Amino acid sequence: MDSKKIYLTRDGLGELKDEYEELIKTKRPDVLSRVSQARSLGDLSENAEYVAAREELSFIDGRIDELEELLKQAVLISESAKNTNHIVKLGSKVTLNIKGKKENFTVVGEWEADPTEKKISHESPLGKALIGKKVGEKIEVEAPAGKVLYTIVSVS
Q: Which domain holds residue 138?
A: 93-155
Whole-number pLDDT of residue 40: 84
Q: Say if residue 70 is in the same domain as residue 128.
A: no
Q: Say if residue 100 is in the same domain as residue 70.
A: no
Whole-number pLDDT of residue 10: 86
pTM: 0.71
Whole-number pLDDT of residue 3: 62
Mark which of 50, 76, 102 sits at the end of a domain. 76
Contact 9, 112 (CB under 8 A): yes
Whole-number pLDDT of residue 84: 59
Whole-number pLDDT of residue 6: 87
Q: Say if residue 70 is in the same domain as residue 97.
A: no
Q: Say if residue 16 is in the same domain as residue 63.
A: yes
- The answer to whether residue 1 sits within a structural domain is no
The neighbour count for residue 82, using CB atoms within 10 Å, is 7
Q: Say if residue 108 is in the same domain as residue 67.
A: no
- Report how many domains make up the chain: 2
Q: Say if residue 125 is in the same domain as residue 69.
A: no
How distant, in Å, are the alpha carbons of 31, 78, 84, 91, 115 from that of 81? 44, 6, 9, 10, 25
- The answer to whether residue 134 sits within a structural domain is yes
- The answer to whether residue 83 sits within a structural domain is no
Q: Say if residue 118 is in the same domain as residue 150.
A: yes
Whole-number pLDDT of residue 80: 53
Whole-number pLDDT of residue 96: 94
Per-residue tens of pLDDT for the chain, all 156 residues? 456 788 888 888 999 999 999 999 999 999 999 988 888 877 766 778 888 999 999 999 999 999 999 899 988 887 655 555 778 988 899 999 988 899 999 999 988 999 899 999 999 999 999 999 999 899 999 888 889 899 999 898
Q: Write the CATH number for 42.
A: 1.10.287.180
- The answer to whether residue 23 sits within a structural domain is yes
